[in-house]
Structure 1
Amino acid sequence: MSIFRTKNLDDMLAAGRAPGGLKKVLGPFDLILMGIGAIVGTGIFVLTGTGALTAGPALTISFIVAACACGFAALCYAEFASSVPVAGSIYTYSYATLGELVAWMIGWDLMLEYGLATSAVSVGWSGYFQSLLSGFGIALPSVLTAAPGAVPGVTTYFNLPALIIMLVLTAMLSWGVRESARVNNIMVAIKVGVVLLFIVVGARHVQPANWQPFMPFGVGGMMSAAALVFFAFIGFDAVTSAAEEVKRPERDLPIGIIGSLAACTVLYVLVSAIMTGIVPFQKFLGIDHPVSLALQYAGENWVAGFVDLGAILGMTTVILVMTYGQTRIIFAMSRDGLLPKKLSTVHPKYGTPFFATWVVGIAFGLIAALVPLNVLTELINIGTLAAFTLVSVAVVILRKKRPDLPRAFRCPGVPVIPALAVIFCVVLMTYLHWLTWVAFGIWLLIGLVVYFAYARHHSVLNQKG
């Protein structure tokens, strides 16, 4: 059936090498910092407090469980990225293995995941930025500080800082990926330095008594927290979206994927252990700045100020990298005919998908400005878990379909490792709220309608057929 038609891998690789395409300017160090830039942000600076309320000191185990789900999937991503260094991430891999309809649905899913992630983090960035301004005695008009209905009892119409940061980073991405990578690398270095400062200073104030009881809400609480803090690891897969802009993708992409995930896992476990060792976990109720609270609790107020700065930079890099990943997926889908061709045009001077970048920036900037944060975050985790599940299945299928394909990196223990990735992801999905499942189902139904009404007929494969 036409909905299960797959793209020829050799044609995909040729398209990625065609002249006039995206510029190849990124190396392994850029990719590791890009991954860390996407991962270290809202998760470590905000979600650690909510996770502690759900799991208690066992939050450290929650992070390890979430990291295992990501780690197994990361090995599958690394094999695909080294074998098929083409823009589009799991969308592209699915198109080559599982068929057009599955590829479209996962691309549709990723558009929602990446887009809402950038919008949600922009709202968080706005809150920290306004807090920073207040320290200098500057206050924005209340009507421009949040989305309508976001603050109970306060009249708000528009989150202006959230829109502005989206537009500034969109402009940066549209002008060139090399320049964006340099800015990202500087901000990542600063925010990792801030996290390391917290670890060094906070470790002196840990009271082991605060770790007892270690698992106050049992295994269920620990697993629920793992499903929640999984959000903290979202982003390493965005590295694969850079495939066509990497100088040596066969070697550098696996380094970037696995290296960034490993570094962030170590940071998360250390930060959560120290944080819950300083402050009894019950005190994180209603707190949206748990890391700086721990330092204030320990009397290290000067370091707490640096943490707030690190949070702002951390969220900035998350928005930057996730917006980048979003535009490259749309670029790949447009090039395949599933979205309008205008979205895959490359700017002759900047070598970027200029039009697609601005469409993404303006659309999700307005969503950040007009939609409350709690609404934005509902679908992000389930969309990512679904993507990780599919890439784990796809790597096994590609092994059978194309055993001859050169693989600079091979996922170890196939099919066991991919199976473990599927199991971990599905188990975490079962701990998400049922309303999240309903909303996710509605979004996928909309995607099916768009596919059969537009994408299927405009597909490049359909034109060839």
Structure 2
Amino acid sequence: MAKKIGLRRTLGLLEVTISGVGIILGAGIYALIGEAAGLAGNAVWISFALSALIALLTGLSYAELASMFPKAAAEYEYTSQAFGGFLAFLVGWMIIFSGVVGAATVSLGFAGYFQALTGTPILPSAIALLAVLSLVLLFGITHSTRLAIVLTTVEALGLVLVIYMGIPYLGSVDLLEMSPLGSAGILQASALIFFAFIGFEEIVKLSEEAKDPEINIPRGLVLAISASIILYILVAISAVSVLGWEELSCSSAPFSDIARYALGPNASAIISIMALFATTNTVLLMLLASSRIIYGMASSGSLPPILASVHPRTHAPWIATILSMIIAMSFVFLEDIAFVANVNNFTVFVTFIVINAVLISLRYKKPQIARPFRVPISLGKLAVLPVLGILFNLLMLIQLETRVMAIGLGLGGLGALAALISMRYIKSDDPQRKGE
């Protein structure tokens, strides 16, 4: 019998942290800050802070669960341990869908910037980007993370440049001034801008390719969230200081307009090029995360086993990677970034509610499992911070518009149907899973 080929453990704490920062710092902040400012006013930084709090609360839950179950299937594995296969499949389904649609949407964002600089049509550029980045992923995790480190460095420099441009303008606006929507606008902006924080949860999907994953995954996750929070809030303050929320909200390329206003017309081209790096990095890491959860679910027996195939030379889950690329390519016709961001947010808020509930449940059901990282503050066995995470995610969920909720519920319904089919027709060969 041929020996099963597994993923290769090559990622240290630095690579894990930078991968997390890279996907968090992607297209969301570049594309959505203008629309968020229109909802929240100059106080949009408060919306970022609120979104950061939700990300941190749920990130701590992810850190503990990743230290308990360092598996590529991540959310699927955690939910299965606490609530069984049906809900686990549904959560995995939502995450896969969110990842590939997010990759498709951000690839269109890349294509828009690329068209502005070169005149190349949008659709071919988006498809070409997905194809090229999928090819990079097929060469293995080492090449992928090396590229991610380079792209992350450039996009982080872009945000630092925005912060630098805002320094001379600090104090020029009232940072507590809200839009006419008032506090409701703050909450709506938080729900929208949360798309900019999405990504920290993808770090746990690198568990089977990380060295000492029980230690490096939780540490990398917390470090990535912390770095992103600081950058985002400083960027938000600088952006409204330079343009003010009214002008910022009317801009389709807010960072380019900030650069043009602060440094002159040539600077906007530099920011646009950095936006290309940012969107490229987000697409790369979204495709990476989606392929890993497909691989993980197939390895667990909930998707066809062929999707768990690993290339013998590169140790990449090649069929899962190609499938992620094909699905993403099929969605490149969705061009409304804000709308798709909120559809993604729906799936993420629901997933985060489940993940926080999983941690609470496992504290009671499986207290004997080693937890190298443990979420602080408990009342007996009850973990307090995950309870707050559930409440805050529910608060964000109800801020979404009706048609977003309808599409999200539709996706959930399709996932439930797929889960029933999976449980009926796909049997796992894993004896441990059968005994759960």
How does the TM-score come out when normalised to structure 2? Answer: 0.93
> Residues of 1 paired with 2:173 and 2:371: CA distance?
50
Please say if residues 210 and 278 of structure 1, whose CA atoms lie closer than 8 Å, have aligned partners that are also in contact: no
Counterpart of 1:77 (choices 42, 49, 62) is: 62
* Amino acid paired to 1:398: L
- The runs of at least 4 consecutive aligned structure 1 residues that moved more than 4 Å come to 461-465
Quick one: structure 1 residues 198 and 285, their matched pair in 2 at CA, closer, same or farther if it must change by over 3 Å?
closer
Residue 46 of structure 1 corresponds to: 31
Task: Choose which of 332, 336, 339 in structure 2 pairs with 1:373.
Answer: 336
Return the alpha-carbon distance in structure 2 between the equivalents of residues 212 and 427 of structure 1: 22
Q: Are 2:429 and 1:457 equivalent residues in the alignment?
A: no
Decide whether the 8 Å contact of 1:81 with 1:243 is kept in 2: yes
Contact 1:25 1:178 in 2 (8 A): yes
Deviation, structure 1 residue 286? 3.9
Within the alignment, does 1:213 sit opposite 2:177 as a pair? yes
User: Amino acid of the residue matched to residue 336 of structure 1?
Assistant: S
Contact 1:210 1:276 in 2 (8 A): no
**Other structure's SS at 1:339 match:** coil
Per-residue CA deviation, residues 269-312 of structure 1 (Å, 9 max, x unaligned), is: 11111110111211134422112212212244343332212211
Greater displacement, 210-219 / 381-390: 210-219
Structure 2: which 5+ runs fail to align?
A: none
Deviation at 1:461, TM superposition (A): 7.2
Supply the distance in 2 between the matched residues of 1:234 and 1:446 (Cα, whole angstroms). 23
The alpha-carbon deviation at position 197 of structure 1 amounts to 2.1
- CA drift of 1:442 comes to 1.3
Q: 1:209–1:333: structure 2 CA closer, same or farther, 3 Å change rule? A: closer
Aligned equivalent of 1:436, options 404, 409, 426: 404
Kindly indicate whether the alpha-carbon contact (under 8 Å) linking 2:165 and 2:262 is maintained by their aligned counterparts in 1.
Answer: no
1:32 to 17, 24, 31: 17
Look up the match of 1:289: 253
Question: Could you tell me how far 1:454 is from its partner in structure 2?
Answer: 3.5
What is the percentage of aligned positions where both structures have the same residue? 28
- Deviations 1:71-116 (CA, angstroms, capped at 9, x unpaired): 0000000001111111112111101111111101101111111111
Structure 2 residue 202 is matched with structure 1 residue 238: yes
Aligned length: 426
Shift of residue 462, structure 1, vs aligned partner: 9.6
Letter in 1 for 2:224: S
Q: Superposed, which structure 2 residues align to 1:12-411 within 5 Å?
A: 20-133=5-118, 139-140=119-120, 144-145=121-122, 159-209=123-173, 211=175, 213-214=177-178, 216-368=180-332, 370-374=333-337, 376-411=340-375
Q: CA deviation at 1:132?
A: 1.9
Whether contact under 8 Å (1:339, 1:455) holds in the other structure is: no
Residue 392 of structure 2: which of 424, 437, 443 is its match?
Answer: 424
Structure 1 unmatched runs, 5+: 1-17, 134-138, 146-158
- The CA distance in 2 between the partners of 1:117 and 1:401, in whole Å, is 34
Give the AA of the match of 1:82.
S
Aligned 8 A contact 1:231 1:381 in 2: yes
Distance 1:385 1:323 in 2: 20
Task: Please give the per-residue CA displacement for 1:99-142, whole angstroms capped at 9, x wherever unaligned.
Answer: 11110110111111111111111110110111121xxxxx33xx
CA distance in 2, matches of 1:265, 1:365: 31
Aligned 8 A contact 2:342 2:400 in 1: no
Q: Identify if the C-alpha distance between structure 1 residues 296 and 207 changes in structure 2 by more than 3 Å, giving closer, same or farther.
A: farther
Q: In structure 2, what residue type is equivalent to 1:124?
A: G
Between the aligned partners of 1:43 and 1:320, the Cα distance in structure 2 is 14
In terms of mean alpha carbon deviation, does 437-446 or 452-461 score higher? 452-461
Q: Report how far residue 376 of structure 1 moved.
A: 3.6
For normalisation by structure 1, the TM-score amounts to: 0.88
Tell me, in whole angstroms, the C-alpha distance in 1 between the residues paired with 2:315 and 2:430: 28
Distance 1:325 1:209 in 2: 40
SS of the residue corresponding to residue 261 of structure 1 reads: helix
CA contact 1:456–1:462 (8 Å) conserved in 2: no
Report the counterpart of residue 155 of structure 1 in structure 2: none
CA contact (8 A) 2:8 2:315 kept: yes
Contact 1:338–1:458 (8 Å) recurs in 2: yes
CA contact (8 A) 1:210 1:279 kept: no
Matched-pair contact (CA < 8 Å) for 1:95–1:103: yes
Aligned-residue RMSD, C-alpha: 1.8
- Cα offset for 1:206? 3.5
Mapped to 1, the partners of 2:21 and 2:135 lie a distance apart of 22
Using the alignment, how far apart are the partners of 2:18 and 2:264 within structure 1? 28
- Counterpart contact for 1:195–1:310, Cα < 8 Å: no
